[in-house]
Structure 1
Amino acid sequence: MTGSDPYGRAIHDHQRGKRERPLLERNGDETREHPIERFYFTGFSGSEWIESVFDGPLLDIGAGAGRHALYFQERFETVAIDVSERLVKTMRERGVEDARCVDMFALGETFGRDRFCSAFSYGTQVGLAGSMDGLRRFLADLAFVTTPEARTVLDAYDPNHKGAIDLLGYRADPTPGLAYRLYWFEYDGDVSEPLLFRLFSPNRFQEAAIGTGWRVTEIRREPEEGHHYRALLTKP
């Protein structure tokens, strides 16, 4: 987030018990309340699949309020990053041991080669790569900072699934397997810059991974939201 950061401010206010207004997602006249408590402050208990994938050191990308980092740091070294300084402050207040203000699209400028054994990003932030080329650059950057045996899990929305059209700010694209999503946040009079996400189908995700050092080896969909999926990427 940049500028006034209503997103980070609302979550930080919630952490301190000072939030009196909702955090809103807006697209034109359409408005929805962002579920802060459910998304960021419920406990994370892991899963058999996730436990089998990750090993430390782990890079938690776009870590938000540190929900996942708090769980994983009890098992191995975990570095939690977010572009919002307020969210980094929130994570530290909640007990995240290594929370840093880092742009996920500048990993190679921040960390050395082979720094992490696994990586995780939950929240569909990878869509902010904006294009197939942007996704390729991000994956190549991520490959640089992870070991040759590393595995990563990234989540995204599948524009080919019928449920995607119900996403706030959904924009269709004639290109197969691609779409856009555009919306912004508003909190207590502050309005964020518009956020433009590129939506990639699993096949498009696999296509973008070619030549980056990664390949998509498994896709898992959320049981109640088939358009929301997690992609497991491994190195050939």
Structure 2
Amino acid sequence: MPDPFGHAIYDHYHERRSEPLVQRDGEETLDHPIEQFYFDEYEASDDPWLESWLDGPLLDMGAGAGKHALYFQQRFDTVGIEISEPLVETMRDRGVEDVRLADMFSLRETFDRDRFSAALAHGTQLGLVRSMDGLRSFLGDLAHVTRHDATAVVDSYDPGHEATSELLGYRDDPTPGLAFRVMSFEYDGETGATLLFRLFSPDRVREATTGTSWTLVDVARDDPDSAHYRIALEKTAAVDG
């Protein structure tokens, strides 16, 4: 299957990328900012909120080029996972010590029960669950591979924020707190599969945690005008994952 996203990031790291990585929705396109998103050095002092919610062993899901994994592995056991072989190779080349080719939506098949103390999914890939039921199922799988007192940080775009409708690929939904995003990536003559993201408001994520081991304990935005937000989850209920 074509992997323009992974190949573009791999080529960028090895200084041989000559074309942009393009996001596409029909005729509308946007150059994806690779350097800004994946290769600026992460420092916890820039983001004390995130560090306050993470501990080890840590699972970095959809770890990209390893920006977060490179930092956190200096503090505690950190495992980065990606479904893209070029991204796995990029992380290894950059020095991520434990990186695996694995799908964040197949956690039960990949890791033992109670393996991690914390989990991170940064990049809105949570939306690939596609539905509220998919979100609940993912939270159940995440509970299975995390310890009884684990924490998790995930992110999304808030459909209730007016700026979200300006995203490339945005699709409205009449249901409050929900929307879709549809797009694909193109690079060096390759077009990837069409990606369907479900966008959740924080209240919808809170609703999805009902009946799971997880409780939504905090919501953070980079600034009040930002449609992007992050959520901290904490395991507080004795629900069998």
TM-score bucket of the superposed structures, by smaller chain:
over 0.9
1:32-76 per-position Cα deviation (integer Å, ceiling 9, x unaligned)? 000001111110002222222111000000000000000000000
AA of the residue aligned to 1:180: F
- Rounded Cα–Cα distance in structure 1 between residues aligned with 2:217 and 2:137: 19
Q: Which residue among 25, 28, 44 is the counterpart of 2:26?
A: 28
Superposed structure 1 runs of 4+ greater than 6 Å apart: none
TM-score in terms of structure 1 length? 0.97
AA of the residue aligned to 1:20: S
- Rounded Cα–Cα distance in structure 1 between residues aligned with 2:224 and 2:38: 19
Deviation at residue 222 of structure 1 after TM alignment: 2.0
- Rounded Cα–Cα distance in structure 1 between residues aligned with 2:160 and 2:52: 29
1:144-197 per-position Cα deviation (integer Å, ceiling 9, x unaligned)? 100010001001111011110011000000111100000000001100010000
Structure 2 residues not aligned, in runs of 5+: 237-241
- Rounded Cα–Cα distance in structure 2 between residues aligned with 1:116 and 1:141: 12
Partner residue in 2 for 1:82: 82
Deviation at residue 224 of structure 1 after TM alignment: 6.9
AA of the residue aligned to 1:160: G
The alpha-carbon distance between structure 1 residues 21 and 225, as it changes in their structure 2 partners (threshold 3 A), is farther
Secondary structure of the equivalent of 2:106? helix
Partner residue in 2 for 1:176: 176
State how many pairs are aligned: 234
Determine what percentage of the aligned residue pairs are the same residue: 57
Partner residue in 1 for 2:221: 221
TM-score in terms of structure 2 length? 0.95
The alpha-carbon distance between structure 1 residues 13 and 157, as it changes in their structure 2 partners (threshold 3 A), is same
- Backbone CA RMSD of aligned residues: 0.9
Partner residue in 2 for 1:40: 38
Structure 1 residues not aligned, in runs of 5+: none
